[in-house]
């Protein structure tokens, strides 16, 4: 259906994901974690009735196959110049398809919930820019814009401030949502200690529990309490 709000999920190659965890996880473990998080994100997005579709931008054939299994549309990230390039590519696709707006959800926010995404869609009715910041590093974990090309993406550390400034430069006061699940991405060791009992994220929690079970160094809290599926 044209004229709707879509989710946009930019995903890098799985074998390049989570490089900042290289000191504590082997390459295969990082790939397994990235795959699990992506599946949890796509599973949650697929249950949000207010979305017209899910678009995944990736240069990884395995990611494309996973995305298709969740009913997502996939377009290739031919340049692979980072998350902002992938988001711009997706936004141009939405614009060409005459879609009304987009909710950017990176593939490493597995604890995001359906209720949180519904709150983003509701907020988008009152402001054309909605931002959910990362709760650790001042980044942006969810960015919703309508129309799609309204705001140039600037993801990365401290990107929340950049996105707010960019919106205000356009005369727009963005809606800011502090979302507990969506606010926790997984980039560094301390992120792995977060566990929200209200969030499904079964695949991610299974990975975290497995790492703990094989002597994974616990940065904070105890992974032994993680509930597995």
> Domain with 45 in it: what CATH number?
3.90.550.10
Do the domain assignments include residue 106? yes
Do the domain assignments include residue 200? no
d(CA 141, CA 214): 30
Average pLDDT for 81-91: 96
Do the domain assignments include residue 193? no
pLDDT of residue 13: 93
Do the domain assignments include residue 228? no
Per the structure, how many domains does the chain have?
Answer: 1
d(CA 16, CA 83): 13
Range of the domain at 146: 5-185
pTM of the model: 0.87
* 159-170 pLDDT tens trace: 999 999 999 999
CB atoms within 10 A of CB 157: 13
Do the domain assignments include residue 218? no
pLDDT band at 195 (very low <50, low <70, confident <90, very high): low
d(CA 93, CA 139): 24
Give the three-class secondary structure for 96. helix
Do the domain assignments include residue 197? no
Do the domain assignments include residue 28? yes
Do the domain assignments include residue 104? yes
């Amino acid at each position: 259906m044209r004229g709707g709000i879509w989710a946009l999920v930019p995903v890098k190659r799985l074998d390049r994901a989570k490089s900042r965890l290289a000191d504590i996880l082997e390459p295969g473990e990082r790939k397994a974690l990235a795959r699990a998080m992506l599946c949890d994100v796509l599973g949650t997005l697929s249950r949000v009735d207010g979305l017209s579709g899910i678009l995944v931008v990736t240069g990884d054939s395995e990611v494309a196959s996973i995305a298709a299994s969740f009913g997502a549309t996939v377009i290739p990230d031919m340049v692979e110049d980072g998350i902002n390039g992938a988001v711009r590519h997706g936004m141009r696709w939405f614009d060409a398809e005459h879609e009304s707006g987009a909710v950017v959800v990176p593939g490493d926010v597995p604890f995001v919930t359906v209720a949180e995404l519904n709150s983003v869609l509701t907020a988008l009715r009152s402001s054309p820019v909605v931002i959910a910041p990362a709760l650790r590093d001042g980044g942006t974990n969810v960015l919703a814009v309508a129309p799609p090309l309204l705001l140039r993406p600037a993801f990365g550390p401290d990107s929340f401030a950049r996105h707010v400034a960019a919106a205000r430069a356009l005369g727009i006061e963005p809606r800011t949502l502090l979302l507990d699940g969506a606010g926790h991405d997984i980039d560094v060791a301390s992120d792995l200690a977060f566990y929200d009992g209200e969030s499904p994220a079964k695949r991610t929690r299974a990975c975290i529990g497995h790492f703990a079970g094989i002597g994974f160094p616990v940065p904070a809290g105890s992974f032994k309490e993680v509930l597995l599926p």
